[in-house]
């Protein structure tokens, strides 16, 4: 495996040289993220090179390997051909080439190369983590064993800062992707901060140049896999705020949990224990930040009543929250048909609006029928912090309630396109199901949702 690491390191350096020669002009992809010619050319080179030096398949940000194709793979490559495209396009130096080898759900080999800085970082189970100064002109003489071993050594910082270092820890923050919650975390623990681009924040932890890297907004598996190996092999850790455990990989979707990365000197410390034990203050809890609560149920199930009470409870707790009612949103979003395809189209628009609010840290509660597998899958792929709630109700009770006379008209043939009558629906495999056949007990039902949020 060490021989493979050597080859991958050389691939990353060569890909970096290709990227350096490309234009900095960026365009916007369909998902709203930027892309440059450097992303595409580096990706093509890396993919071809990895296939030549190993039998493993390649999954890249620019050429995604679907879940069905990779879910049973023992090994596969996970690549971000240009991490920090905004830094690259702005002619900053904080961008990198990231290549990781995934073994089942764990990254075991990682290479990060920052071409503009000529900095190479590698990590491998059993080999440790090391750094190098290298580019295409020195690649011929490159040897893995010659690197500086990384162990989160803070001695240089101690010598420079003296006793001041003991009283203030240093956190890494993103140049372009900081968030209100990240700032809340930094302020709560009284941390100093520095801004770095791409995976260089992780590398700063491994080098002992910083202590903590909190990340409370969206990242994908290819953003973190290579860097996680380097941090872990230097004695540090990358911990999910949701689970209190290291980030895992090869999930059905690529969205990471929010996380906090720790240098070796912080593993076992107070903040580390707070994150691992879910003892973060409410305002810092990733389980609330940018959360989308998607509440589905047939007409008359009582989902709106429950959603309104949930909104009040969260608002009164001082959290930033909005409630989006499905019927009201349909009026705002324009004329969509009520047939199945029209319902799916308007549901995706609701989801896109919720995602926009989520990115700004707002808790978004959506009350909607939208009971189709295509929507559940769409949400799971697009929301990094998502809770799906199904409000069920016995069909006979729905018929009895029928305040809008939807069912009575549909059953008489007077009203087409009613979900549950002439449009079949997919019962969701929700995170939480609440039986609302019997009305009342709303405090308990809302309490179930709050408990589900807290346990995420």
Domains identified in the chain and CATH numbers: 1-147+168-284 (3.30.540.10), 289-455 (3.40.50.300)
pLDDT of residue 155: 64
Q: Which of 286, 265, 290, 264 is nearest to 275 (CA)?
A: 286
pLDDT of 206 reads 96
402 is in an annotated binding site: no
> Is 82 labelled as part of a ligand binding site?
yes
The token pair at 317 is 């707790």
Closest CA to 84 of 205, 247, 227: 227
Position 285 scores a pLDDT of 62
Q: By C-alpha distance, which of 213, 210, 216 is closest to 169? A: 210
Dihedral of CA atoms 184, 432, 383, 451 in degrees, nearest 10, equals: 0
Identify the CA nearest to 170 among candidates 199, 212, 203: 212
User: Would you say 316 is a known binding-site residue?
Assistant: no
C-alpha–C-alpha distance, residues 156 and 293, integer Å = 46
Q: What is the pLDDT of residue 95?
A: 94
According to the model, what pLDDT value does residue 177 have?
Answer: 84
What's the rounded Cα separation, in Å, for the pair 299 and 369? Answer: 7
How far apart are the C-alpha atoms of 40 and 36, rounded to whole Å?
Answer: 7
Instruction: Indicate whether this model's pTM tops 0.75.
Output: no
Does the annotation place 80 within a ligand binding site? yes
Q: Is 85 annotated as a binding residue?
A: yes
| pLDDT reported for residue 61 | 92
Per-residue pLDDT, 161: 55
Distance, in Å, from the CA atom of 354 to the CA atom of 293, rounded to the nearest integer, reads 9
What local confidence, expressed as pLDDT, does residue 300 receive?
93
pLDDT for the residue 65: 93
pLDDT value at position 282? 59
Query: Does 327 carry a binding-site annotation?
Result: no
| Helix H or strand E encompassing 321 | strand 321-325
Q: How many angstroms separate the Cα of 18 from the Cα of each of 1, 7, 27?
A: 26, 17, 19
Q: Are strands 128-133 and 119-124 parallel, antiparallel or unpaired?
A: antiparallel
State which residues of the chain have pLDDT below 50. none
Is residue 396 marked as binding?
A: no
Q: What pLDDT is stored for residue 48 in this prediction?
A: 97
Sheet holding 212-215, edge to edge: 192-196, 170-174, 212-215, 259-262, 237-240
H helix intervals, 234-386? 270-276, 303-316, 326-333, 340-359, 373-382
3-state secondary structure of 226: helix
Give residues with Cβ within 8 angstroms of 44, minimum separation 6.
none
3-state secondary structure (DSSP) of residue 314: helix
């Amino acid at each position: 495996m060490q021989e493979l690491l050597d080859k991958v390191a050389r691939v990353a350096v060569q890909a970096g040289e290709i990227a350096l020669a490309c234009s900095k002009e960026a365009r916007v992809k369909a998902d709203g993220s930027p892309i440059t010619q450097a992303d595409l050319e580096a990706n093509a080179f890396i993919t071809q090179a990895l296939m030549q030096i190993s039998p493993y398949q390649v999954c890249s940000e620019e050429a995604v390997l679907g879940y069905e194709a990779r879910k049973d793979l023992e090994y596969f490559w996970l690549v971000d051909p240009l991490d920090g495209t905004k830094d690259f396009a702005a002619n900053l130096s904080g961008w990198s080439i990231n290549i990781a080898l995934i073994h089942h759900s764990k990254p075991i080999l990682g290479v990060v190369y920052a071409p503009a800085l000529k900095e190479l970082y590698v990590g491998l189970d059993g080999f440790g983590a090391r750094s190098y100064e290298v580019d295409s002109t020195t690649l011929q003489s490159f040897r893995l064993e010659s690197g500086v071993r990384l162990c989160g050594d803070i001695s240089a910082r101690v010598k420079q800062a003296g006793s001041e270092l003991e009283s203030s820890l240093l956190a890494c923050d993103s140049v372009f992707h900081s968030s209100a919650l990240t700032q809340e975390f930094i302020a709560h623990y009284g941390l100093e901060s520095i801004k770095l681009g791409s995976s260089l924040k992780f590398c700063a932890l491994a080098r002992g140049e910083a202590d903590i890297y909190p990340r409370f907004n969206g990242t994908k598996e290819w953003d973190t896999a290579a860097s996680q190996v380097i941090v872990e092999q230097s004695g540090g850790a990358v911990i999910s705020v949701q689970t209190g455990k290291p980030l895992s990989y090869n999930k059905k979707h690529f969205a990471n949990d929010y996380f906090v990365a720790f240098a070796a000197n912080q593993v076992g410390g107070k903040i580390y224990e707070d994150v691992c034990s879910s003892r973060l203050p409410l305002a810092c809890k990733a389980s609330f930040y940018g959360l989308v609560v998607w509440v589905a149920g047939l007409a008359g199930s009582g989902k709106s009543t429950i959603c309104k009470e949930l909104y009040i409870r969260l608002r009164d707790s001082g959290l930033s929250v909005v409630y989006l009612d499905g019927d009201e949103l349909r009026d705002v979003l324009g004329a969509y048909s009520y047939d199945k395809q029209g319902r799916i189209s308007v549901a995706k628009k609701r989801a896109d609006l919720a995602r926009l609010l989520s990115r700004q840290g707002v808790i978004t509660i959506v009350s909607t029928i939208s009971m189709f597998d295509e929507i559940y899958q769409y949400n799971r792929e697009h929301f990094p912090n998502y809770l799906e709630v199904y409000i069920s109700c016995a069909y006979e009770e729905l018929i009895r309630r029928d305040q809008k006379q939807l069912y009575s008209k549909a059953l008489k043939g007077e009203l087409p396109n009613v979900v549950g009558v002439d449009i079949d629906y997919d019962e969701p495999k929700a995170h939480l199901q609440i039986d609302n056949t019997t009305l009342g007990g709303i405090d308990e039902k809302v309490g179930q949702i709050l408990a589900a949020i807290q346990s995420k």
